[in-house]
Chains A and B, each alone.
Chain A
Amino acid sequence: MISESTVFVVDDDDALRKSLTRLMESVGFRVEAFASATEFLEGYDPDKPGCLTLDIKMPGMSGLDLQEQLAQQGCLIPVIIISAHGDVETTVRAMKSGAVDFLKKPYKGKVLLERVREALERDASRRRDEARHASAAARLNKLTTREREVMGYLVKGETTKQIAYQLGLSRKTVDVHRGHIMTKLQADSVVDLLHMWPD
C-alpha cells in the first residue's frame, strides 16, 4: 500500500528540498517537491495517497497557513511540520490543524523517515477504512425501509422475538427480513453488521 503513496515536499530552500527528495527516494518513496505553498495547492491531487512535509517559514503563504487551508477544505493528508524553532504557540497551532507530527530542525534523518512512513501508513489505513465504509453504505442502500428498521434493532443486540414484539410482526417475518439483510450486506454475523452500521 505504502509504495503507491507519494511524499509531498514543500520547502522554499532549494538545498533542503532537493535533499529531502533524495532522502525519500533512497527508501523508495515516490516524491513530489514544491517550492512554495501556492505551487503545491495548484499541483496537488487530494485523491493521491501520501503525506506532506512542510516548512513553516516560507515567503508568501507560510506552512501553517497552507495546513489550515487544507484542513478547511477537508483534505485529510497527514502533515509533518518541519520547523527551525519549535515554539509552543506554533506547535499548538499546527497540532490543532491536524498535523500528525512536528519535527524541529535539526532532526535525525532516521526519525524523519519513520515519521514519514507512519504518516503514509496512517493515510493508507484511513483511505482503506474510507473505502470499506463506502462499500458498506452502498450495500445498506439496497435494503428496504423495513429491513433497515430490523437491522437497527439487530445491531442493538436484540433478539428476533424482541424485534417481532416491538414491530408487531411475526417471528417468521423478522427471520425473513434478517435473512435478506445478511444476504444483501454479504454479512456472516451480526458482528459484521455492526461494522457496516454507520453509527
Chain B
Amino acid sequence: MSQVSRKRVRILYLLGWASALAAALTAAAVVSASYEEKEILRGELRERSRLRMQATAEHLGDHVRSTWLCLRLISLDPDIKKMRRAPFAHIQAMHRVTFAFHGLTEVYVTERDFDGTKHPFLSLFREDDGRLVEAHHPLQRESEEYTVHIEHIRRFIDDPSADFLISRPVQLCVGRPGVVCSVPIWTRTSMVGIVAGMVRSDAISEILESSSTGDEVFLVSQAGAVFSCQDATDEMRTWFEARFDPADPVGFFDGCGPALQAMGREMLWQEVDLPGSQKWYLAYVYNPTVHDDLAGVPTSLTTWSIAGVVLLLGIVVMRLCHVLPVLETARARADVHAEELAESEARTRAIVGTAADAIITIDECGTVLDFNRAAERIFGYDTAEVIGRNVSMLMDSPHKEEHHEYVKRYLSTGDSKIIGQSREVPGLRKNGTTVPLELDVSELDLGDRKLFTGLLRDVSERKQSEEALRQSEHRYRTLVENIELGVTLIDSDHNIVMTNQAQGRLLHKPLCEFAGRKCFEQFEGREAACQHCPGTRAMATGKAAEAETEGVRDDGSRVAVHIRAFPVFDGNGQATGFIEVVEDITERKRSERLARERQAELAHAARLGSVGEMAAGLAHELNQPLSAIVNYVQASLETIRSGRDCPEELLEDMNMAAGQAIRAGEVIERLRHFVGRPEPQRTRLGLNALVSEVLDLMRPEMRPYSIEAHVALDEALPAVEADGVQIQQVLVNLIKNGIEAMAENGAENRNLYLETKESADGTVECVVRDTGPGMTAEQCEQVFEAFFSTKGEGMGVGLSISRRIIEAHGGCLSATPVAHGAMFSFTLPICEMSEPA
C-alpha cells in the first residue's frame, strides 16, 4: 500500500501545482481527477471487504470443524444408542475408521430443489464397483424420515429380512438449514447405524453476522442452500436464491457482476473450506458508491468557479498529501485488529468446543444464559429450571456463597483463579448430592459486557477408578512390603528399579542403597552379571527361571538364597526386565544338611551291622594272606636252616610274602573305607568302579557258597554325583541279599548277575539279580520296610536304608520278581556335563 500511496501523493502534488498555475486548463482535468479518486476509494472499500471475507471464511471453517454438533444416532445396535454429543473431529474419526469397511461414501440430510419444490432429503451415496450410486429420499416429517431410514439402511446392508432395533430420532435437523455431516457406522461385517450431525444455520448466521458491518453476507452451498446474515436484504436474498446456479457456481459468481451493478451493488466471493463433500461459497455484497460523496463534484458550475474550486481543491489535496498516509495507516491497523479479534474468538470457541461435556454460559451477575443437555444430565435439572437463575444453585459450599465475590473480584482486578485452567469442583445436583466435576471457564468479551462459559465434565467415574487404582496399588504395595520374600524389579541392564524391605533385611542394607545400582553388585558383590542369573534366562525364554546361590552382604557374610525370576514385558511383548523373588533358604539348607547327616549316621550304623554279619568272611579273607606269609617266611627259615645255598628260592619266597602282606593291607583298607565314618560328601564318580570294589569286598561271602558272579559293566557309563561309600553300602546290601537267598539252593545253581547300563531317562541303572527262591510281588514292596526280613538272620533294615540312600540321591530302588530268583535295581541321575566315567 505504501507504494500506491507514494504514487498517489506524487500525483496529487502535481495536480495541486498544476491547478494553481493553469486554472483555465483544469476544468476537464478536474473531472478526470475526481473520477480517478472515486475509483481509488472504491478499491479501498473492496480491499476492506475482501479482508473481512477471508476472516469470516476462516472463522467459519474453524467453527464447523471444532464445534459440537447436534449428533444424532440412528442405531441398529441397542448398545450404541447412547451416542454422546461429539465434535466434528469425532465424526471424521468414525468415518475414517469405518470407511474402508463400507461402500457408503456419504449420507446426509439436506434441503433440495426437487420438482420445483424444496423438501428435506436423505441423500445416500455409495460406491458400487467403482461407480458412485446416489439415492435421494424426501423427508417431510419425522416419522417419515424414521421409516425411510430403516428402509434404506436395510437396503444398504442387502438384507431385507433383517430385524432392526433403531432408536427413535431424538432431534431432527430436517427442515432447518445447516451444514450436515453424517456417517454410517459399521462393524467389520455389517452396518450398525448412522451418525449424523449438523451445525444449524442460525449458528452460521451468527458467525456471518460477527464479521459483517453493513455488508450483506451470504453462504451458499453447492447444493443450493443459502445462509445469510441479518443485514442481508430480502431483495438481495431473493435475487440470490433465484439466480444461483448449483451446476456452475463459479460461472454464476463470475457472471453476475453486471446484474449487481444495475442494482448498485458489487460482490466479492470465495470458496470456503468446510468439511463434507459439498463445496461452499462465501459472498460479500456491498454498495461501492457509499463513499463517492467524498470525491464527487457538481458539473453545473462555470469553468471559473470550477477553476477556483480546483484551486481550492489543489490546496486541499496538498493538505491531503500530508494527512492521507496517516489515515491509511490507522485504517490498516483497525483492519488487522478486527482480524485478530475474529481469530481469537474462533480460537476461544474451539477451546470451548473441545473441552467438556456440559456447557453453561453465565453473564457477569452469574445468571445462567445457556444450559445444555449434558448439563441437564449431570445436574438433574431441566434447562427451564436453571435459565435466568443464579449459577450458585449448582454449587456446594463454600463456592455457593463465594462465587459472586469471585466474579466481582475478577471483573475489578482481572485476577482469576479459574479462567484458562482446569480444576476439579464439586457440583450440587438437584437431588442434593454432589458430583465431582472438571471445570474449564472461558470468557467471552462482548465489549460492553462479558459472558463466561463453563465446560463441565463428570469425573466421578474417573475418580472412582483412580481410587480403585490407588487402593489396588496400596494393596500390592502392602503385600510386597510385608511379604517375607525379597521382591525386586530389575531392568534389562541389571539396574535395580525397585526393591522391598525384605530384600533389604536379607542383605542388611537400607533400601536407598539399591535403586539405580546393578543387581549383581548389590546382591552378590560381583563386578559383572552372574553366570547363573535367572533373570537373563527368564528374559530370554519368556518364562520363570530359578537359581540357588548365595547373597553377599557388605560385611562379607553370606546368605543362601533361592531366586525365582519372572520376565516383565512391554506392550509389544518385548522383555524389558524381570522381577526377582528371593527366599532366604539358610534354614532350609541347614535342615537338609542335618537330615543328610542323620541319614549318614544311620547308614554308618547299618554298615557296622553288615560288617558284623560278614565278620567270619572277613576273617577268612584276612587270614588267607597272613597264613601265606607265615608259610613263605617259615619256608625261608627252613631253607636257611638247612644250609642249602639257594638265594633265588629265598628271594622268591620273600617277594611272595611281601605280595601277600599287601593283599592283607588292601583288605583292611577296603574294610576301613567301608565302615569308617566319612563326612557325607557327593563327588562325581563312576558306578562301575564301585561295583568292582564291592564285589572284591563280598567275594569271601560268596566263596563258601560257590556263588558265581556274572558282571556286565557298561564301559561308556556316564558319571554320577554320589556319596561313594553309601552307594557301596547299597551294593553290599543287595549282593548280601542275593548270596543269602541262594544259600539254600543246590550248589550248581548259584549265580549272581551284576549289570550297569545307561537308561533312557537321564539316569544310570544298576541291576543285581540272583537265582534264589525269588519273591512275590507283595514281598517285593515289603522288603523295603524296616525290620522286614524273609531270612532268619539280620535285622531286616538293610534294604530300607538302601532305599533311603538311593532316594536321597534322587534315584529309585525297586525289586522285581523274575522267573528264577529276584531282581533288584537302582537308578542314579547322571551328573550333568559328564564324560564317560
A interface vs B, CB < 8 Å?
Answer: 12-13, 15-16, 18-20, 22-23, 25-28, 57-60, 62, 82, 84-85, 105-110, 112-113
Q: Which residues of A contact B34 (CB under 8 A)?
A: none
Which 3 residue pairs spanning A and B have beta carbons closest together? A109-B634, A19-B631, A59-B706
Q: List 19 A-B contacts (CB under 8 A).
A: A13-B628, A15-B624, A15-B659, A15-B660, A16-B624, A16-B627, A19-B657, A19-B660, A26-B636, A27-B642, A59-B704, A59-B706, A106-B623, A106-B630, A109-B630, A109-B631, A109-B633, A109-B635, A113-B634
Contacts A16-B627, A26-B635, A105-B624 given; 19 further ones with Cβ under 8 A?
A15-B663, A18-B628, A19-B629, A19-B631, A19-B660, A20-B631, A22-B635, A22-B656, A23-B632, A26-B636, A62-B704, A84-B616, A84-B620, A85-B616, A108-B630, A109-B634, A109-B635, A109-B637, A110-B637
Q: Which residues of B contact A12 (CB under 8 A)?
A: 703
Q: Which residues of B contact A62 (CB under 8 A)?
A: 704
Asked if A23 and B703 make an inter-chain contact with CB atoms under 8 angstroms apart, the answer reads no
Q: Separation in Å of the B826 CB from the closest CB of chain A?
A: 29
Bound Cα distance from A129 to B656, whole angstroms: 41
Q: Which residues of B contact A109 (CB under 8 A)?
A: 630-631, 633-635, 637
Asked if B630 and A107 make an inter-chain contact with CB atoms under 8 angstroms apart, the answer reads yes
Q: A16-B627, A19-B660 are in contact. Are A59 and B635 (CB under 8 A)?
A: no
| Residue B639, interface by CB 8 Å | yes
Bound Cα distance from A155 to B629, whole angstroms: 56
Among B642, B659, B703, B747, the residue within 8 A (CB) of A26 is B642
Among A23, A28, A84, the residue within 8 A (CB) of B631 is A23
Q: Separation in Å of the A30 CB from the closest CB of chain B?
A: 15
Asked if B628 and A16 make an inter-chain contact with CB atoms under 8 angstroms apart, the answer reads yes
Asked if A22 and B663 make an inter-chain contact with CB atoms under 8 angstroms apart, the answer reads no
Bound Cα distance from A19 to B661, whole angstroms: 13
Asked if A27 and B630 make an inter-chain contact with CB atoms under 8 angstroms apart, the answer reads no
Q: Which residues of B contact A113 (CB under 8 A)?
A: 634, 638
| Residue B653, interface by CB 8 Å | yes
Bound Cα distance from A110 to B638, whole angstroms: 9
Q: A18-B656, A23-B638, A109-B635 are in contact. Are A13 and B624 (CB under 8 A)?
A: yes
Bound Cα distance from A60 to B707, whole angstroms: 10
Q: Which residues of B contact A108 (CB under 8 A)?
A: 630, 634
| Residue B544, interface by CB 8 Å | no
Across the interface, name the chain A residue whose C-beta is closest to B750: A59
Asked if B635 and A23 make an inter-chain contact with CB atoms under 8 angstroms apart, the answer reads yes
Q: A22-B632, A23-B631 are in contact. Are A57 and B704 (CB under 8 A)?
A: yes
| Residue B232, interface by CB 8 Å | no
Bound Cα distance from A58 to B620, whole angstroms: 11
Q: Separation in Å of the A65 CB from the closest CB of chain B?
A: 11
Across the interface, name the chain A residue whose C-beta is closest to B630: A109
Q: A57-B704, A109-B633 are in contact. Are A19 and B627 (CB under 8 A)?
A: yes
Q: Say what secondary structure dominates the interface of chain B.
A: helix
Q: A109-B635, A113-B634 are in contact. Are A19 and B642 (CB under 8 A)?
A: no
Across the interface, name the chain A residue whose C-beta is closest to B644: A26
Asked if B634 and A15 make an inter-chain contact with CB atoms under 8 angstroms apart, the answer reads no
Bound Cα distance from A121 to B778, whole angstroms: 62
Q: Which residues of A contact B639 (CB under 8 A)?
A: 26
| Residue B534, interface by CB 8 Å | no
Q: What does the 1/0 interface line of B646-661 toward A look like (CB < 8 Å)?
A: 0001000100110110
Q: Which residues of A contact B624 (CB under 8 A)?
A: 13, 15-16, 84, 105
Q: A15-B663, A25-B635, A85-B619 are in contact. Are A59 and B630 (CB under 8 A)?
A: no
Q: Which residues of B contact A84 (CB under 8 A)?
A: 616, 619-620, 623-624
Across the interface, name the chain A residue whose C-beta is closest to B627: A105
Q: Which residues of B contact A22 (CB under 8 A)?
A: 631-632, 635, 649, 653, 656
Q: A60-B747, A106-B627 are in contact. Are A23 and B656 (CB under 8 A)?
A: no
Bound Cα distance from A90 to B176, whole angstroms: 133
Q: A15-B628, A19-B635 are in contact. Are A60 and B616 (CB under 8 A)?
A: no
| Residue B625, interface by CB 8 Å | yes
Among B625, B631, B703, the residue within 8 A (CB) of A59 is B703
Across the interface, name the chain B residue whose C-beta is closest to A109: B634
Q: Separation in Å of the A91 CB from the closest CB of chain B?
A: 15
Asked if A19 and B619 make an inter-chain contact with CB atoms under 8 angstroms apart, the answer reads no
Q: Which residues of A contact B425 (CB under 8 A)?
A: none
Bound Cα distance from A58 to B700, whole angstroms: 10
Among A13, A85, A110, the residue within 8 A (CB) of B634 is A110
Q: Which residues of A contact B625 (CB under 8 A)?
A: 15
Q: Separation in Å of the A7 CB from the closest CB of chain B?
A: 12
Q: Which residues of B contact A59 (CB under 8 A)?
A: 703-706
Q: A16-B628, A85-B616 are in contact. Are A105 and B635 (CB under 8 A)?
A: no
Give the one of B616, B635, B704 with max A CB within 10 A: B635
Q: Which residues of B contact A16 (CB under 8 A)?
A: 624, 627-628, 631
Within 8 A of A (CB), among B633-692: 633-639, 642, 649, 653, 656-657, 659-660, 663
| Residue B511, interface by CB 8 Å | no
Q: Which residues of A contact B630 (CB under 8 A)?
A: 19, 106-109
Give the one of B620, B631, B633, B634 with max A CB within 10 A: B631
Bound Cα distance from A82 to B656, whole angstroms: 20
Bound Cα distance from A16 to B631, whole angstroms: 8
Q: Separation in Å of the A51 CB from the closest CB of chain B?
A: 16
Q: Which residues of B contact A58 (CB under 8 A)?
A: 703
Asked if A23 and B623 make an inter-chain contact with CB atoms under 8 angstroms apart, the answer reads no
Asked if B704 and A26 make an inter-chain contact with CB atoms under 8 angstroms apart, the answer reads no
| Residue B626, interface by CB 8 Å | yes
Bound Cα distance from A57 to B747, whole angstroms: 14
Bound Cα distance from A113 to B703, whole angstroms: 28
Q: Which residues of A contact B626 (CB under 8 A)?
A: 105-106
Q: Which residues of B contact A110 (CB under 8 A)?
A: 634, 637
Bound Cα distance from A135 to B32, whole angstroms: 199
Across the interface, name the chain A residue whose C-beta is closest to B700: A57
Bound Cα distance from A50 to B639, whole angstroms: 21
Q: Separation in Å of the B235 CB from the closest CB of chain A?
A: 143
Give the one of A22, A105, A112 with max B CB within 10 A: A22
Asked if B623 and A105 make an inter-chain contact with CB atoms under 8 angstroms apart, the answer reads yes
Q: What does the 1/0 interface line of B723-761 toward A look like (CB < 8 Å)?
A: 000000000000000000000000100000000000000
Q: Separation in Å of the B656 CB from the closest CB of chain A?
A: 7
Give the one of A57, A109, A113 with max B CB within 10 A: A109
Q: Which residues of B contact A82 (CB under 8 A)?
A: 627
Q: Separation in Å of the B710 CB from the closest CB of chain A?
A: 16
Bound Cα distance from A46 to B616, whole angstroms: 34
Q: What does the 1/0 interface line of B579-623 toward A look like (CB < 8 Å)?
A: 000000000000000000000000000000000000010011001
Bound Cα distance from A13 to B616, whole angstroms: 16
Within 8 A of A (CB), among B530-584: none
Q: Separation in Å of the A125 CB from the closest CB of chain B?
A: 24
Bound Cα distance from A40 to B660, whole angstroms: 25
Q: Separation in Å of the A28 CB from the closest CB of chain B?
A: 8
Bound Cα distance from A58 to B649, whole angstroms: 29
Bound Cα distance from A12 to B663, whole angstroms: 16
Give the one of A82, A84, A110 with max B CB within 10 A: A84
Among B627, B632, B659, B663, the residue within 8 A (CB) of A107 is B627
Q: Which residues of B contact A27 (CB under 8 A)?
A: 638, 642
Bound Cα distance from A106 to B633, whole angstroms: 13
